[in-house]
Every structure is written in C-alpha cells, then in structure tokens.
Amino acid sequence: MFRSAINRWCAGEEKRVDSRTIYVGHHQIPGVETFLPQSFCDNRIVSSKYTYWNFIPKNLFEQFRRIANFYFLIIFLVQVIVDTPTSPVTSGLPLFFVIIVTAIKQGYEDWLRHKADNSVNRSSVYIVNRRQIVEKQSEKIQVGDIVCVKEDETFPCDLILLSSSREDGTCYVTTASLDGESSQKTYFTVPDTNAFRTDVEIDSLIATIDCEQPQPDLYKFVGRIHVFSDKQEPIARSLGPENLLLRGATLKNTDKIYGVSVYTGMETKMALNYQGKSQKRSVVEKSINMFLIVYLGILVSKSLIGTALKYIWQLDPSNDEPWYSSKTLKEKNANKFIKMFTDFLSYMVLFNFIIPVSMYVTVEMQKFLGSYFITWDKDMYDDLLDEGALVNTSDLNEELGQIEYVFTDKTGTLTENNMEFIECCIDGFKYKNVGIEMSVVDGIPSTDDPHNRVCGMAGKEKEELFLRALCLCHTVQIKEEDKVDGLVKQQGKQYMYISSSPDEVALLQGAKKLGFTFQGMEKNWMKIQNRDTEVEMYELLQVLNFDSVRRRMSVIVQDRSGKIFLFCKGADSSVFPRVKAGKQEEIKFHVEHSAVDGLRTLCVAYKEFAQDEYDQFSTQLHAAKMALKDREEKLAEAYDNIENDMHLIGATAVEDKLQDQAAETIEALHSAGMKVWVLTGDKMETAMATCFACRLFNSNMKLLELTIKYIEEYRTEGAEKVHELLLELHKAVVQDKRCSSASLLRSWSVTQEYGLIIDGAALSLILKPTQDGTSNYKNLLLQICKRCTAVLCCRMAPLQKAQIVKMVKNTKDHPITLAIGDGANDVSMVLEAHVGIGLKGKEGRQAARNSDYAIPKFKHLRKLLLAHGHLYYIRIAQLVQYFFYKNLCFILPQFLYQFFCGFSQQPIYDATYLTLYNICFTSLPILLYSLVEQHINIEILKKDPSLYRNIANNALLQWKPFLYWTMLGLFNGLVFFFGAYFLYDNVSIAANGQVYGNWTFGTIVFTVLVFTVNFKLVLDTRYWTWVNHFVIWGSLAFFVMFSFFWGGIIWPFLKQQRMHFVFTQMLTSVSAWLTIILLITISLVPDVIVKLLSKPMGRRPQQSVRYAEPELLSFEYIKDGSFIPSPKSDDLTKL
C-alpha cells in the first residue's frame, strides 16, 4: 500500500511534462554519463473502490450523501439526544437496515473486484532479463521491461512491438475485451528492431522511446524510437497506434512477440477507460424528488400545527399542569423557546414515517432485478451473434417508456453493414454486377470470355489502372490458417481478407471478379495477380490513413520500373475538389445515380510523382510523423499538400442492405408517437434512398431541403440568405400545421406531413453564432424540426451528431431522447442522449461498451421500448405512488390522535409496528408487483404501438395522479381513525369486563391499515402468479402471527409490556372483527368505484386480453459463456 502511494507520488512528477522517455531494457545509452531513469507507477491494476481500512468510513460517507439517508440520520440523532415520544429504534432500525443491506451489496461487489484484480496482478508473465527469460508476477512489470508474449496470451501492459516471429514483422491481435471487435487487427514492428528475434538478441538492443503521456484514447498514440549502434548515428523512427499493443488484447496467429512496456498499471489505456460515464437521472427520479419535497412540506406543516396547538391547549392552567402530572422545578425554569423547538423536533420524529426511507432501497432492487428480464428475453436473442441484450445501466429502465425522440445512425444500425460490390464506373462508363459475373452496361455487349468480358468503352489501360488502384489502396491483410476457428488462407485460390472496414473487403472482392486479385504482402511489397495471371509487385512507400475529417485514404507505391504512384479513394465531396483531370461530369452523374439507388459510393483517383517531388513530400511527411506535439495537425497539412492535382479514374458502388424488420420497427416507433431522426455521415442521395426504404420518408410526405448547396443557390444574396430561408421554411411548415390543425375541426382533410433534410455544412452555418451572439437561427431550426414527422441529417461528423442530440434535449420542453448506433463515431451521441443504445455490430463494440443498453439488432428496439419500457414505467410509477400513499395512510391517524391526547406527542402505534411496517408488513408485495405485473399482454403492446402514447410525458407521475393517490391516502387515514373511534365510542368494555385502552385502539387502526394497503395492491394486480399469492397472503399471515407472538410473551428487555396479550384479546371481541372488516371495506370502496368507471388502459372494444407469461432465458442454460435458449417449462416461465 505504502509502496503504491510512493510510486504514484513519484509518477506525478513526470506528469508535469508533455512526454516521457523510456529506456528499452533499462540499458544505459552509450556516450551518456548520467543515467537518471524516470519513476513510473507499477503494473498493478486497481478496479476496486474500497480497501479494508477505508470501507466503513468511505461507504458511510457515500450513503449519507443521499438526502433521504441523511434526513433519517438527523431524525435518529434527535431521538437519541432529545426526549421524544418514540424510541430511537423506530427510525434507527429501518435506517440501519437500509445502510447495512446497501453496504453488504457494495462490499460484496467490491470484494469480487478485489478478487479479479488479484488474479490479474498475480498472473505469470515473462520478462527478458540478462539475456534470458524470467518469470514474474504481472504487477511487478516496470516501464522499460522487455516482455515476451506467446500466441493466445493477453498483453499484460501497453507494449511497443519490437519484433515478431513472423517474417514480415507483423502480428495479429484481437481487441474484443477492449472495443468488442472480434476481427483480427494487424500491428507492425519497427523495421530496425524486427531483426532482434531471440532472447539474447533482443536484450542487446539499445534504444530509447519518447512518447506522449498516458491518455485514454484507444486509437491514438504519438511517439518515436531512437535505435543506437556502435558504428552509426542513432536511427529515429516514428511510432503510432499501429505499433502499440494494448493491455487486454490477445495475440493471435503469431508464435511470439517481444515488446517494451511503455504504460503500466493504472496508466494503461484500458485502465484509463475505466472512468465511468456521467450519471444519468431518469424522469421518475426527478418526480420522486418533487413528491418528496411535497411530503416534507406536509411533515413540517403537521409538526408546526401540532406545536402551535399544544401551546394553545396549554394556555389553560389545568391543561398545562394537570393534577396528576405536576411539573418539576427544571421544567418550570426551562427556556420557553427552547422547549417549543424541542417539541417541534419531537413532532418531526413522531411524524417522520411519512417520508418512505425504504422506498429508495425498493426502487434500487426493482431496477436491478428488473434488468434481468431484458437480459433473459429470448425475443431479443440473436442466433448469429449467439448473444442477447445487455443492460449496462439499470437506473434507466423506466426511461425506456418515456422516449420522445429517437436518433439513429444509418450504416450498421438501419443497415446490415455487410457490403456487396454492385457496380463501378471507369472513366465515365458503368460496369455492373450481373449474377456472379461482371459486364459492361454502357454500350458494349459482354462476350463469353471472362478475361475479355470487362474490356469496354473505358479501354483496357484505364480499366487496369482502376483495378490496380482498388487492389493497392487499402489496409487489408490476407488471413493465414487460423488454428482457432478453422479458416484457411488459400483453398483453391480463395483468399480470406481481413480488415476493420467491410467496404475495403467488398472492393477487393469486386476487383477479383473483374480479374485483379490482391495476394497479400511480402515484406514491404504488395502482390497483385492481373487478368493475364501475371503477378505484379509494388513496394509500399507510404500509407496516408483514412480519417473522418479528410474522408479519404491514399497509398504511395513504386513499381519495379521505378515509377511512383499515389492512389486515393474517398467520398466524392473530398475527392472531386482535388482532381484536375478526368471525366468528372460523367463520373459525378454515375455517383449521384448510384446514391439515389441507395448504394455507398467512393471515388478513385491517382497521381504520378517524379522522384524529387516524392522526396520532398516524403521529407515533410517524415517530419510530421516524428513530431510529438501537434502531430495530427502536421500530418493533416502534409496529406493536404500531397493529395492534390490528382487524376480522376472512376468510382465504386457497394450495397449495404437494410436490417431485417428495420422498416417495421420505424413504423412502430412513429405509431407510438416518437419522432425518428437519422444522423449519418453518408451523402444525401444514399441516405435518402435508405430513408425511403425503411419508411422514414413516404411518397405523401413533403420533403424540405436545407443543405449548403441549396443555401448557396437560394435567391437572396448576402449573409441574410440563411435567415430568410429559415423564415420561409418556418412559414411553410409551422404556420401550415397550425392552419391544418384548425381546419381539422371543420374538415376530414389529412394534415400534410413534412420531412426535413439537412447536412453537416448547413448545420455548422446555422449553429455558428453571429457577431452579436444573438442569432435566432437555432430556434427557427428547432421549431421547423419539431413540426416535421421525420428528419434526415447527412454528412454529419461525430461531434455534430452529439450537438444535434444536445440541441433537442435542451429545448424548452426537455423531451426524453434516445440515441442508437453501432460504431465509434456514434459514441458521442450515445453518451449525450438520455438513453444510449449500442448495437453489437460489425463496426466494433465501442458504442455498445459506452451505452446504457446493448442489443443485437435494430429490430429489438421495438420490444425494448414498446413492451419492456412501457411495463417498467407503469410498474415503477405504481411503486412510487403506492409508497407515498401507504405512508400517508400510516401517519395520518397518528396526527389525528394528537387532537384527542392533549397534543402530548403520544404515539398511537407500538414502537415495533412503527419499525416493521415498511420493512416486513408491506414491502415485499409491492416489490414483486413492480417486477412481474403486466397490466396489458406483452404481445398486445408490441402489436399496438399507440398504447405507448398513454404513458407519454410522464403521465402517471404528474400532479393529477399524485393528488388522486394523496386524496385516497387522506380518505383511508380518516376512515381508519374516525371509524375505529366512533365505533368504539360506546362499546369500550370487552366481554370479560376489561376496558379497551389506547394500545388496543391503535392496534385496531394498524390492523385495518395493513390489510387495506395490501388489499389495495390486490385490486391493482392484473397478472397473477403463485408468487404473488404467496407474497401478499404471506405478508398478511406474517403480520398476524407476529402480533400473536409479540403480544404473547413477556419480553425481559422491555421496561413496559404495552402489547402483552393486546392483539389476542382484541380478536376475542366480535365487535373488533366487525370493525376491522367494515373499515377495510369502506376504505376500498372509492378505489373500486374508480376502477369500475374508468376505462382500463389499453383495453379496446371486443378485444380479449390474455396475459401471457414472459418467456425468459435462465442462467441455468448458459454454457461456456454463451446463451442457449431454454426449453419452455412452467418453473422457468412463471418467474
């Protein structure tokens, strides 16, 4: 512990600088006399929250930060310090029960984290030390150690790849534990260190690494390595994310690698990503806080009234000091104001049970246990992925029933992200996929010869240049024989391509159909087999990687004759401005036509360099790669200079099919009253085609365009054109909707539906503040968007997606938003929305990892919202209202009793009843109700999305239903007290002649109370199982048995045996039985009448509602970490 603290304190010194220097193998640099290695933290991972010595104080501090817990702590302390009418046990025991249960739960979870940490920290790793392999514990790795990792082993820290057992200096890695991507990624060694492949050789390596300080971005790394030798000057090479092996990733298809540790322990990227997301609060939690303030006001009001009436009552000397209770000298000399304040506190203690402390524990348990119903749902299980839904945040279950806006990505979310090469355009001529062959569409009929089949109007030279570009401009790797999943590299000349982008694989497969096959890499040479089965070799000089800002990628290659080419592919908007020759208009026409058909398009261009021109660019590029500061900006500048004056060759078009039931899901969301927005980075025409295909847009909808192109072509010139265009759209949409709404009162005409299309450039222009900072563009845009049935936002950057979600979320109405996506570019909007949904897609699992809920397919969103969300909201709304109701019923007789006991703060209930009311007698029935209740069958909820509208806008937790529950509680409390009072006004002697006392009176009231609030739940329950019967009738039976037991024994630890034989004697009276039955019946009458007069939610005429039991997956049927659907059984489905 102390050593760890020292390490972290020392590590803090080096965090003050922008970079760190690492000595590979801890070897001293030749020629440097002083060797002062920096201090870094050890490799210990700490995911636990507590230690043995700080668990109690830290956990108590966190729990008492909650207002309710702190309030009851104050009440308990008042009971201990001040002479109050009730024992401290009455408030202390429920509070301690809540605190202890929560502490045990959190302590157990942290113990599991400690256990997991120890298993990782004490695992064996292999370090190269003094020219031999030494086994160590993982936690003892230091920065600068050379680590040897073998196939299928996990990297113990963040390593720079020094050498690999593969000849080409690469290794394959899976990062499923980091970002969920199961595909293998390729990492590269530094060319100057790959020759060191044995323990002795690698230990002789003398090098230093300068790199940035630890930061959590998994896909960013900036550094450089200096390799020293005796005879030559040190060689400097740049290091990037392609050289960094992350902790938690697994080595695949590589015998072993050597790497030097650069980040260890809590400074690894995996550990830095442990940081939790910002806490999201549901609308139900906000309603609870509002209701809590109301009831706190009621509590204070009751206490003030009781205190005031007490002193008014004591104005009469006979009431102030009756003959049977004379005041002591100390009481007579006491300060009156202090006595009044003490009395006020005593009333606060007496009435404090109106605030339901146990409600918070019940709500947490309901959310935690209820989340398993989503995880176990068989309808949300995907056979291909062999996975079901995943709940990352159970605090938002009820929020799923309140969604008003759905923001969805397109690629991989609405579509399969399974690309298929459909057609291409070469020099203005289209080549289309026909069956399994390719043929020319524009003018030249195809022949039977497959080699001549693609020779069309473009000419052989242009065709081959285009196909070479496809085969060279990518980052695809050939997958070798995989010992794990059985995939084979080459079987009948069938190559297995692996890439992080499915587009690149589709393009290579398309090029193969046209006669050009990429055959992989040999060292730094790319092999291509042309249509004449000849192998062409190209040396890979530079790779200009793709990024979301440039929206293109390039490679620079050199053929055997010495010619240097740059091949570039990217979005049309990023390539067209950078070409100077080629049939731009023809190719642009084909690109737009393909986009209208819903195809994803890329433009292809090339450029030939002279040697001196390339050397100049190479120098600039090398300087940018070697920079530790502002490397990305310098690289962007270098790329911008290189990717200019290119020649346009052609374009490609690949198809991304819609996901199964995507259109039906969007239709259901519309019918449920939700507005669906599609946010995508694709071009407008492609996105529009997808929106029509998935029925977001329809033929009857009037589409409004707000793109940068339309703004530039608008008739008004100058800076006011944006404002005037928005005003025109506002007039067309908003005012037309108002007129149409008014005309509906007099006509059967249908309101015109509008759809809006906006692009990223137009959005930036609209959201850009004016010079005075008072632009109303944003408000106009919001009003237009709110009136539109559907909105498509295309050409969106990831940050712009989050800006749109935030813009809608922060409007005046504060609508509940949901964002769903599958890729890393969707993480920002998933985190920004009230509810974030991640799809377990092919673009990785970044969105799923950062989401609140993860589902396999977009179609599962329908049941998640319309069924689970609907039911969770109904259940928790009932739970919250019921808790306030039953506590108001509980404490109102206590308040009324003060009017009949001289405001002496005498309790009406026994202290044991006060303590156990919320813990034992009434807690389990409402908890089970909130877990399994189905007021409407799940299948009906899925088939009739309009039922979702019934609970919109937090309908069940508004002031009107809250007042209904409050009035019902007041009525029941009045019936409990005055019913027992008037019925026993004349009948006050039992059969044996004994007079009934105040404890008997209070026991009758409490008995009626317990039975009434439980019967109220019986009336509200529509979905009955044997568990419901067991819990409800079991709670009532427990109350009766406990009352017999508590009053039937003389307890030696009690000073006063108040309840001795009270309950037994009460039940011997026929009048007591009649009173209890009559008061329970009267109390339930208003609720029965309301239920008879009101229309059941969701019930339609001539519609029979059959309550189907939910089908679940059980953990008993999970084998080897995979879901296996369980057979339907009564034991499984009834829970």
Q: Which residues are catalytic?
A: 409
Question: Which tokens in the block code for residue 399?
Answer: 């929020």
CA distance 190 to 238: 9
The answer to whether the CB of 518 falls within 8 A of the CB of 495 is yes
What phi and psi values does residue 234 have, to the nearest 5 degrees? -60, 140
Are 238 and 230 in contact by the 8 Å Cβ rule? The answer is: no
CB 137 within 8 A of CB 151: no
Instruction: Quickly count: other Cβ atoms within 10 Å of residue 520's Cβ.
Output: 19
Which H or E element spans position 927?
helix 923-932
Instruction: State how far the Cα of 554 lies from the Cα of 542, in Å rounded to an integer.
Output: 8
Decide the pairing of beta strands 206-212 and 181-188: unpaired
Q: Distance between CA atoms of 311 and 308, rounded to whole angstroms?
A: 5
Taking each helix axis from N to C end, the angle separating 959-983 and 870-897, rounded to the nearest 10 degrees, works out to 40
Report residue 318 as tokens: 């006979």
* Distance separating alpha carbons of residues 471 and 817, to the nearest angstrom: 43
CA 289 to chain centre: 24
Rounded CA-CA distance 447/850 in Å is 53
- CA–CA distance, 199 with 606 (Å, rounded to integer): 45
The set of residues, in sequence order, having a beta carbon less than 8 Å from that of 1081 and lying 6+ positions away, is none
Largest CA distance in the chain: 122
Locate all alpha helices (DSSP H) within 520-577, ordered by sequence: 572-575
- Can you read off the two tokens belonging to residue 125? 């790793």
Q: Which of 271, 177, 156 is nearest to 844 (CA)?
A: 177
Dist. CA 275–CA 268, nearest whole Å: 12
Which H or E run contains 607? Answer: strand 599-609
Beta-carbon count within 10 A of 49 CB: 16
Please tell me the distance from the alpha carbon of residue 102 to that of residue 96, in angstroms, as a whole number.
10
Strands (DSSP E) contained in 760-843 are 790-794, 817-821, 835-839
Contacts of 673 (CB under 8 A, 6+ apart): 404, 946, 948, 949, 952
Instruction: Count, in order, helices (H) and strands (E) of the chain.
Output: 39, 37
Pairwise CA distance, residues 219 & 827, whole Å = 14
Q: DSSP letters along 641-705, please?
A: HHS-SEEEEEEEEEEEEEPTTHHHHHHHHHHTT-EEEEE-SS-HHHHHHHHHHTTSS-TTSEEEE
Amino acid (1-letter code) at residue 1133: T
Contact 766, 776 (CB under 8 A): no
Please name the residue ranges forming H helices in 1021-1095: 1026-1048, 1062-1067, 1070-1093
Of 885, 887, 893, 883, the closest CA to residue 1003 belongs to 893
Residue 560 in 3-state DSSP?
coil
Give 439-503 as a 3 state SS string: EECCCCCCCCCCCCCCCCCCCHHHHHHHHHHHHHCCCCEECCCCCCCCCCCECCCCECEECCCHH
